[in-house]
Amino acid sequence: MKNPLFAMLFLCPALALSAVAQQPSAGSGAQPPVQNVGTVCKESLEPAQHSGFWEEGEEPNVANLIGHGFTRKKDVQKQITPINTCLDELGQTAAAHTSAIKDMDVRAQQAVTLASGKTNEADQHATEATNRAQAAQQAASQISTRLSTTERLVDNVGQYQGNGDTEIQFRPGQTVLSKTAKETLDQLAVPLKDQANYVIEVRGFAEGHGEAAIADSRKMADSVARYLILNHQIPVHRIYVVGMGNAPTPGGDSATAKKNARARVEISLLKNDLAAAAQH
């Protein structure tokens, strides 16, 4: 009993001195709480407050003195845990911000690419519109030129001039072309192969009187027109056929009228040289 009592008497002064050293000074004041920086960790981090060396509920004895250090270590861990949690949250927030920035960069690049594509498309449309406008202007100029040419051609309509008459003779009551008549028609038609702006008048004359003479004269004229169309490809619209019957030649005397009363076909080639010059 003496040894334990002696040990207690020896430890009591040491414990008292240690308790006094652990108490905060009156002039230093309370330590302000450490505020978290940023917007993620909103709770303030405050150090543990102690009224003295001993924790509340601890008895000043040897067992509590030995375990007091472990208790302080737990307090430190309690203070560090919120800090680590806050740091983790800050790291996650930073990663989220980085990802958002990358997404914004991608969207911005896509927007730039889209705008560039739209600009190129607009340039292409403008170029196409310019080309179409130039083509329309050229077409308008060509139409204007053609209209001027057509107007000149219309003005020259009716300006056909005869180059002489060709006569084909028939036997009375016959419509068959003789060899001489065919040769005469060949000489007339061959030069017309590559020409235009001409018309051919075919007038038939026959002996007799009235409708019978007109019918016979028309048959002879049709025989001539048929030969020109089939053998020389003269366009039908360039041949004008008429049966004159026994009509006299205008301006002729009685002797000439008697001579012209025989069966025959008169062919007149009429050309419009002014229209041909206008086309060239």
C-beta separation of 162 from 273 below 8 A = no
Structural tokens at position 56: 């509340």
Give the span between the Cα atoms of 223 and 176, in whole angstroms: 7
User: What's residue 156's pLDDT?
Assistant: 53
Determine the CATH number of domain 161-272.
Answer: 3.30.1330.60
C-beta separation of 74 from 25 below 8 A = no
Write out pLDDT tens, residues 18-47: 444 444 444 444 545 544 445 556 656 555
Structural tokens at position 166: 């060709």
Q: Does residue 242 sit in helix, strand or coil?
A: strand
With 0-12 CB in 10 A as exposed, 13-18 as middle and 19+ as buried, what is 203? buried
Write out pLDDT tens, residues 158-208: 567 777 789 999 988 889 999 999 999 999 999 998 888 899 999 999 988
| CA max distance for the chain | 195
DSSP annotation string for 142-200 = HHHHHHHHHHHHHHTTT--EEEEEEEEE--TT--PPPHHHHHHHHHHHGGGTT--SEEE
Q: Where are the domains of the chain?
A: 34-135, 161-272
User: What's residue 168's pLDDT?
Assistant: 93
- Phi/psi-derived region of residue 261, left when phi > 0, alpha when psi is between -120 and 50, beta in every other case: alpha
Write out pLDDT tens, residues 48-106: 555 555 555 556 665 555 555 555 566 667 667 777 787 888 888 889 889 889 888 89
Write out pLDDT tens, residues 231-269: 999 999 999 999 999 887 655 555 555 555 689 999 999
Is the pLDDT higher at 70 or at 133? 133
Find the range with the poorest average confidence among 12-21, 67-76, 138-147: 12-21
User: What's residue 218's pLDDT?
Assistant: 95
User: What's residue 56's pLDDT?
Assistant: 56
User: What's residue 224's pLDDT?
Assistant: 96
For residue 237, the 8-state DSSP code is G
The sheet carrying 264-271 orders its strands as 161-169, 264-271, 198-205, 239-243
Give the span between the Cα atoms of 59 and 65, in whole angstroms: 9
| 243 CB neighbour count, 10 Å cutoff | 22
Give the span between the Cα atoms of 65 and 49, in whole angstroms: 19
| 185 CB neighbour count, 10 Å cutoff | 21
Q: Give the C-alpha distances (Å, rounded to integers) separating 93 from 96, 105, 193, 243.
A: 5, 18, 96, 111
User: What's residue 105's pLDDT?
Assistant: 87
User: Residue 267: what are its φ and ψ, rounded to 5°?
Assistant: -120, 125
DSSP annotation string for 10-79 = HHHHHHHHHHHHHSPPTTT-PPPPBPPSSSS--S-B-PPP-SSSSPTT--SSHHHHHHHHHHHHHHHHHH
- Owner of token pair 């001539």: 224
> Could you tell me which residues are beta bridge partners of residue 203?
242, 266
Is the pLDDT higher at 277 or at 144? 144
Write out pLDDT tens, residues 101-123: 988 889 898 989 888 888 888 98
User: What's residue 27's pLDDT?
Assistant: 45
Q: Is the pLDDT of residue 230 over 70?
A: yes
